Structure 1
């Protein structure tokens, strides 16, 4: 505790908050004193706390409530997102919801409830919305769940087939101090985007990546940035060779680099024989014996837009230096996204430096703040969710397919699964109308279910497309324990503000529902929220030598025991492949996987291959939609969180999300800086504000995700126009492959034009129409 304010934390880091009547939102926000690089996203917190889009009271969609008043069951409705809401007292809203949960369970079974709750939610360990909801639903008899994440679904499925498990690669990457000391060359596919390193699930007290990049620059480490966007490596980074590659062609470039190593005998055959399996199959593909096409630099050059000699020269540089091959998470969020991950590992394996300090392979540097962090790996207190009696699940990005096609079969990681018939969607702590693709299709999918329930602090698009909207507190309005992966501290998250209007925390809402449904005691175990914090903390504290709860709470934080500063991914495996085997069938890195090959998926064979995506400059559709849109993560918020905050709002152009395009592409379309433009394809359209920059490759436009979806109906049955600039109005709702069923929202083919006339107003910065029950 300090005089500067009470401690708390967030996904963008720990900070201090104190009441300040003169400040926006009535609080002042200060970075944590131990943070060497505080996140700029802290600037969104105060201004969003009391924003007019806060949900003040429980609200029910008018059409749903009118049917209930007549004693009629709810039915699918395409009025979601278009009707006003009726505000109700808490008791009445919870009574209605309890009755609906009972109806669905009794008539359709627990499988008919989808406990979505996917998203970042609260950074707290107890008031973590997904954990609270899933625990509630498990005690109620279970629910259909989702698996993996939009960010990483493809990697989470394919990595176990290559290296035995995903967690090792994603959570135990070589540390930044090791990279700074030993790496001579970083070849960064997708870059190391600075905007992402301020974010970590649960937060971190100190952000280390900016300092590590500065240290690399001082040491003179070279970084080759391979991306259509120059901003994918910060300007302060080491001396950089920027290769502005054609989007979605990284795999072809990796294969050509690997071919050069093979053709010029620059690869490490001893490492391949000792630590990998299946190189002979991959080699036949590289040199063309398998299909008659050598994957050499001359082959890759027209695909990637990179000169053949530049490819060969880079391969030679990589072989002559201690080289780290990195691949951002963004590269697997495309069609055939398994391939750049697999090809990147194969390239690193041919260099023979996997397991050597400063060399090898990395996945996610610049994608998340804790990748490469050398903070402690302590297991933090957490709320048990119990066991879900329902075994049915879907890959997370297949929600629209599930709602639109109940009973339909699909492939997933070697299994044949069936979509359930969902009657009630329950969402707490997330915003599917941010994460998902082809949002007009998602609207149609949400219209197919009987009831949608959302817990939300704000009137987001997900709230506006729900039937029940239950107002929840923000982290500043409740107490919790906070800390993230590799965090140096456990934070005592003190309440810094009173709850907004009638908002309640998720625990209180679900406890009220559990009481009505007959398992209130099992859900609460007789504890208040504060008593739960003590219950979670006290059994945990001896493992790290933490003080008693009251002492910890008064101090405001506990610094966790430090872990090792230096470690290298796969170092133990490299030293002794037999004694420390990987969890693959061969015990080694599988450059060819007989398991994956045996699935028979044409969109994901058994080794890295170049497969043309449907949407890239080489596709037939590019004749109509000649620009490749990159829908990457925003720099001004976490996904869609706090889009109404000051930092996010200040970056808008003409009140809409900014789209960056090359001056030559703008000139060809008569577009000037700051103008409103229409971004469109056959799936839909959105409006955005034009920013001209030579820091994007010609033929490429960049529109970040997360602008709150603001659909305006169009005449003639056309898809709605998002007037606020959400790129998922135009992205495709297709899986990466039959193997992973992962998200492909990173790229889309589009056209951009000046918007003619006065653009329609943005409406999502104000609440929807709210009625009283007596108004009906």
Structure 2
């Protein structure tokens, strides 16, 4: 993709490398990279998101924060904003950061960020913010991810580390050549494989799935959604009840044991805890054998179909794969652990095409063949503050300062957060129970946000600083197993007064006295040259290839990374010689039962894989009032909430809202027709959506993907989202006390046709309301960007934020909120 006359401007994204053509009117068009065999459909969303009315044009402050100063308030998300000039905005932000640090300590600053802001290696918002806050003296941070918060904690107990499973999975060419049967728990949904952190230049998974079909491999699609596997894949669909995958795995395992089909030689040599697992399968402690009939009662699948599937798995080279979605639920540890145990009983772990996988169809680079290359990266420095939270516990952190919780075998305490500094990420997309999150965002003294668009997070902030998009700055991009390093040229002018995160943080660092430490005297281009040069020298020294000089790389627009496609078989070395290549577990083997976890005595995560009934599943008592099981999975039309303003996402809306899929018989029982506006609700909240009827979804199940921008209707408590965000419905509870992972995949709901008259409008496609600066001495140009100087920072800390008592929530969660920390 050489940048010459008439050629598109090179760049990359989390949905892949592409080029940009500019229109005379400033519009952009995304052009697929010529080497990409399966370009992402998300490219169609790029133009509409780049120049949208919700782009943030100037710095802005919430009116109440500007008038009354910092403090807890229930007004975030409902008050108008006042636009400021950059000098004043940076002065206000720096003064508030300094006040909180000096008065409450650095642990009172939460450095919120998430890794999806940009595919660029330098303008990675999380790296920029963490580098800034580390130099500032430290911050409370977060660990793990919403996507994998459960597995990242669990897998080290079972196989020694998580990366071996998540980053070094058996590669697709090995699977297509050797695998005869795939047990696909959660399927292999093609919509997800177009997305990878940092992007990929060549999307290979669609082609590998086609090759698997051509090879004649059979797939057992175990999911309530038929669309969790491409249509061209030969498959038998097992429409399982949601949240019962663990029961099915145990029923399959019991059949293998009962019929003498399990590989005892493998478990004796390579596993520990097999005796504990077998006693549980036989029901020796609870009197309940976990046989096929028991599993059938829970899963809704016929017992004979379960036995037949177990026999087929034992007779073929079988890959047991579990999607990431299954661990984003209550007791999410169990399907991962039970899937690994099932693969161990089959005895094929470490054999080409057999064994265990976790995440095929969950991300584009799982099973990819590209070399795992160390890439240029921005040093983040050392954070002097040791406090952190599992990332999905952000609401608990803000609502329960000083309270203790369990995590990964330790007992921790939530610090008292007074300032949230968020750059890159939208917690009002990722998090659950958005009514509770709104209350949580009312507790800090100040919320400071860098954003490109007026997302719900920006609308719930006190001070909003407009950030550039990836197309409006220079960077270097690549994914973990990418084939190319991409020179990300600036393809569009910054919108309004937007600045990149580095420039914003450099301005703050200068005001706070550590500007030189943060920038090291380099501008953006100099940083790119420095990071590239450091990486190139390391690459050449390690024998990984000798990159060209920066100027040559930049002019060409890309450099194809050297290295032949790497074929891998997970745990092959361990299988070949478990003594010389042991796992990093206490036993050196696969832990089908873990003494370390058992010693924690956690009621929601015992020391072996087990069926634990969740609070919300079709068999729960709560289903009497809310009988439909909502699946809130990843969308096909955007990346999380990114590109929701783009053409692809907008075209998929129904009745002007997010589309909800339901079975025709479930719809008929509720007098719902295709295209109807419906209300989806439970005790936590409600949202409006447009009905889509399909028999490709199991009865009793509805699907509402995540990512519709949160649009709360004023005056509704619990919240009503006019746009269709499912996280007004999901529960903010952890997967278990072991991992504290996200549980946003499932929720029990009911659906009815909208009968409330004229429905509330969708308002998130327009910016919030702005008002003139009301402060004494502000002239007609206030907020225009033409001001001559900085205003004073917020005054001394008023413990109520200066708001009337009725508008000021207390520091601790009010008693009417019954969600509790473990």
Q: Tell me the TM-score normalised to structure 1 length.
A: 0.98
The corresponding residue for 2:109 is 113
Give 1:669 shift.
0.3
1:454 counterpart (444, 449, 452): 449
Please give the alpha-carbon distance, in whole angstroms, between the structure 1 residues aligned to 2:465 and 2:646: 21
The corresponding residue for 1:721 is 720
Give 1:54 shift.
0.1
Give 1:565 shift.
3.4
2:327 counterpart (332, 337, 346): 332
Please give the alpha-carbon distance, in whole angstroms, between the structure 1 residues aligned to 2:580 and 2:636: 44
**Deviation string for 1:99-151 (max 9, x for gaps)?**
00010001000000000112411110000100000000000000000010000
2:87 counterpart (91, 97, 110): 91
The corresponding residue for 1:628 is 629
Please give the alpha-carbon distance, in whole angstroms, between the structure 1 residues aligned to 2:68 and 2:524: 36
Please give the alpha-carbon distance, in whole angstroms, between the structure 1 residues aligned to 2:72 and 2:715: 22
The corresponding residue for 2:765 is 765
- Kindly report which structure 2 residues correspond to 1:475-514, keeping only aligned pairs within 5 A, or say none: 475-514=470-509
Give 1:21 shift.
2.6
Whether the 8 Å CA contact 2:29–2:46 is kept in 1: the answer is no
Please give the alpha-carbon distance, in whole angstroms, between the structure 2 residues aligned to 1:732 and 1:336: 13
Please give the alpha-carbon distance, in whole angstroms, between the structure 1 residues aligned to 2:534 and 2:225: 48
The corresponding residue for 2:802 is none
Please give the alpha-carbon distance, in whole angstroms, between the structure 1 residues aligned to 2:263 and 2:694: 42
Please give the alpha-carbon distance, in whole angstroms, between the structure 2 residues aligned to 1:310 and 1:570: 30
1:232 counterpart (223, 228, 236): 228
The corresponding residue for 1:343 is 338
Give 1:26 shift.
1.0
Whether the 8 Å CA contact 2:38–2:204 is kept in 1: the answer is yes
Give 1:290 shift.
2.4
| 2:436 is the counterpart of 1:436 | no
Please give the alpha-carbon distance, in whole angstroms, between the structure 2 residues aligned to 1:430 and 1:252: 35
The corresponding residue for 1:11 is 14
- Kindly report which structure 2 residues correspond to 1:228-377, keeping only aligned pairs within 5 A, or say none: 228-237=224-233, 239-377=234-372
Give 1:654 shift.
1.0
SS in 2 for 1:302: helix
Give 1:564 shift.
4.0
2:98 counterpart (88, 99, 102): 102
SS in 1 for 2:194: coil
Give 1:642 shift.
1.4
Please give the alpha-carbon distance, in whole angstroms, between the structure 2 residues aligned to 1:504 and 1:642: 20
| 2:706 is the counterpart of 1:705 | yes
The runs of 5 or more residues in structure 1 that have no matched partner are 69-73
The corresponding residue for 2:735 is 736
Please give the alpha-carbon distance, in whole angstroms, between the structure 2 residues aligned to 1:49 and 1:78: 32
Give 1:562 shift.
2.1
1:187 counterpart (146, 170, 183): 183
The corresponding residue for 1:71 is none
Give 1:508 shift.
0.2
Give 1:750 shift.
0.2
Name which of structure 1's ranges 121-130 and 537-546 shifts more when overlaid on structure 2.
Answer: 537-546
Give 1:770 shift.
1.5
| 2:133 is the counterpart of 1:132 | no
Give 1:399 shift.
0.6
Please give the alpha-carbon distance, in whole angstroms, between the structure 2 residues aligned to 1:772 and 1:526: 38
Whether the 8 Å CA contact 1:629–1:748 is kept in 2: the answer is yes
Whether the 8 Å CA contact 1:88–1:772 is kept in 2: the answer is no
SS in 2 for 1:191: coil
Give 1:772 shift.
3.2
Whether the 8 Å CA contact 1:76–1:448 is kept in 2: the answer is yes
SS in 2 for 1:688: strand
**Deviation string for 1:338-359 (max 9, x for gaps)?**
0000000000000000000000
The corresponding residue for 2:157 is 161
| 2:141 is the counterpart of 1:145 | yes
Name which of structure 1's ranges 557-566 and 180-189 shifts more when overlaid on structure 2.
Answer: 557-566
| 2:222 is the counterpart of 1:202 | no
Please give the alpha-carbon distance, in whole angstroms, between the structure 2 residues aligned to 1:538 and 1:118: 27
The corresponding residue for 1:80 is 76
Please give the alpha-carbon distance, in whole angstroms, between the structure 1 residues aligned to 2:772 and 2:473: 28
The corresponding residue for 1:409 is 404
Please give the alpha-carbon distance, in whole angstroms, between the structure 1 residues aligned to 2:21 and 2:320: 44
The corresponding residue for 2:587 is 586
**Deviation string for 1:531-579 (max 9, x for gaps)?**
0000000121131310000000001001111244321000000101110
SS in 2 for 1:197: helix
SS in 1 for 2:508: helix
Give 1:708 shift.
0.2
Please give the alpha-carbon distance, in whole angstroms, between the structure 2 residues aligned to 1:727 and 1:40: 23
SS in 2 for 1:290: coil
Whether the 8 Å CA contact 1:714–1:721 is kept in 2: the answer is no
Please give the alpha-carbon distance, in whole angstroms, between the structure 1 residues aligned to 2:368 and 2:241: 31
**Deviation string for 1:651-681 (max 9, x for gaps)?**
0001100000000000000001001100000
Please give the alpha-carbon distance, in whole angstroms, between the structure 2 residues aligned to 1:604 and 1:53: 44
SS in 2 for 1:670: coil
The corresponding residue for 1:573 is 574
Please give the alpha-carbon distance, in whole angstroms, between the structure 2 residues aligned to 1:17 and 1:546: 25
2:518 counterpart (519, 523, 526): 523
Give 1:637 shift.
0.2
Please give the alpha-carbon distance, in whole angstroms, between the structure 1 residues aligned to 2:694 and 2:448: 42
The corresponding residue for 2:813 is none
Please give the alpha-carbon distance, in whole angstroms, between the structure 2 residues aligned to 1:386 and 1:14: 29
The corresponding residue for 2:607 is 606
Whether the 8 Å CA contact 1:438–1:730 is kept in 2: the answer is yes
The corresponding residue for 2:464 is 469
- Kindly report which structure 2 residues correspond to 1:416-431, keeping only aligned pairs within 5 A, or say none: 416-431=411-426
Root-mean-square deviation (Å): 0.9
Please give the alpha-carbon distance, in whole angstroms, between the structure 2 residues aligned to 1:567 and 1:283: 31
**Deviation string for 1:343-378 (max 9, x for gaps)?**
000000000000000000000000000000000111
Please give the alpha-carbon distance, in whole angstroms, between the structure 1 residues aligned to 2:183 and 2:314: 12
Whether the 8 Å CA contact 1:596–1:606 is kept in 2: the answer is yes
Please give the alpha-carbon distance, in whole angstroms, between the structure 1 residues aligned to 2:502 and 2:743: 34
Please give the alpha-carbon distance, in whole angstroms, between the structure 2 residues aligned to 1:269 and 1:471: 61
Please give the alpha-carbon distance, in whole angstroms, between the structure 2 residues aligned to 1:328 and 1:488: 25
Give 1:289 shift.
1.4
Please give the alpha-carbon distance, in whole angstroms, between the structure 2 residues aligned to 1:565 and 1:694: 40
Please give the alpha-carbon distance, in whole angstroms, between the structure 2 residues aligned to 1:744 and 1:119: 20
The corresponding residue for 1:753 is 752
Please give the alpha-carbon distance, in whole angstroms, between the structure 2 residues aligned to 1:475 and 1:236: 35
Please give the alpha-carbon distance, in whole angstroms, between the structure 2 residues aligned to 1:528 and 1:514: 14
**Deviation string for 1:464-493 (max 9, x for gaps)?**
000011000001000000000100000000
Please give the alpha-carbon distance, in whole angstroms, between the structure 2 residues aligned to 1:539 and 1:155: 33
The corresponding residue for 2:394 is 399
Q: Tell me the TM-score normalised to structure 2 length.
A: 0.93
The runs of 5 or more residues in structure 2 that have no matched partner are 540-544, 774-778, 783-822
Give 1:278 shift.
0.5
Give 1:713 shift.
2.7
Please give the alpha-carbon distance, in whole angstroms, between the structure 1 residues aligned to 2:124 and 2:644: 20
Whether the 8 Å CA contact 1:21–1:27 is kept in 2: the answer is no
The corresponding residue for 1:617 is 618
The corresponding residue for 2:669 is 668
SS in 1 for 2:767: coil
Please give the alpha-carbon distance, in whole angstroms, between the structure 2 residues aligned to 1:249 and 1:146: 30
Whether the 8 Å CA contact 1:480–1:533 is kept in 2: the answer is yes
